[in-house]
Homo-oligomer: A and B are copies of this chain.
């Protein structure tokens, strides 16, 4: 039996959700702090400003990709939380591990934006996404095993949440492996996977209706 303190700790799912929302909000907004604007001394007329903005392109792609990543992970974590009735201290710590990966993403993004043609930078970025996904999977597995999931949750929801993580992470891993050809190919594939999760399904839906 766990000690008393371990049993009374971390019961409140609402506080966990509030901490998550706060961390995602800060991480999403901090991404922009790393974007530089053209230096004043290098710009003398309108054309130079537009040129300098265009030259910041690679940075901005890494930034947009990270916002998408954070959006996907935020949506994923809160979908899970909606089905969890109660927390435990283990769930709290798995969740804090997930949030640790989230707070790391602005750093991975900065690394990738600075070294966008380096496989080591892309590998670290992928590792970060993988760590976040793995913690989400673990959290759901733990919640299932420890019977923390709301009683009225349909069985197909339980499977659906696991499947979604495994499929998305497989695509990310496949994209990351392509960095041995070229990091830009990797980034293109990862972005395509992310846009698929964010945008395409709603287009598909509309067609079918």
Indicate if the CB atoms of B46 and A89 lie closer than 8 Å.
no
Indicate if the CB atoms of A8 and B124 lie closer than 8 Å.
no
Indicate if the CB atoms of A202 and B93 lie closer than 8 Å.
yes
Indicate if the CB atoms of A89 and B33 lie closer than 8 Å.
no
- Total copies of the chain: 4
Indicate if the CB atoms of A19 and B21 lie closer than 8 Å.
yes
Given A22-B25, A32-B107, A110-B37, A5–B164 Cβ distance below 8 Å?
yes
Of residues 105 to 125 in A, which have CB atoms within 8 Å of B's CB atoms? 106-107, 110-111, 114-115, 118-121, 124
Of residues 161 to 181 in A, which have CB atoms within 8 Å of B's CB atoms? 161, 163-164
- Measured between beta carbons, the chain B residues less than 8 angstroms from A23 are 25, 28-29
Q: Is A151 an interface residue when CB atoms closer than 8 A count as contact?
A: no
- Measured between beta carbons, the chain B residues less than 8 angstroms from A121 are 49
Residue ranges of A at the interface with B (Cβ–Cβ < 8 Å): 1-6, 8-12, 15, 17-19, 21-33, 35, 37-38, 40, 43, 46, 49-50, 53, 64, 67, 71, 74-75, 78-79, 81-82, 89-90, 92-93, 96, 99-100, 103-104, 106-107, 110-111, 114-115, 118-121, 124, 156-157, 160-161, 163-164, 198-199, 201-202, 204-205, 208
The contact sample of 15 A-B pairs, CB cut-off 8 A, is: A3-B160, A5-B163, A10-B75, A18-B21, A19-B74, A21-B25, A26-B26, A29-B30, A29-B103, A32-B104, A33-B33, A38-B115, A71-B100, A75-B89, A93-B199
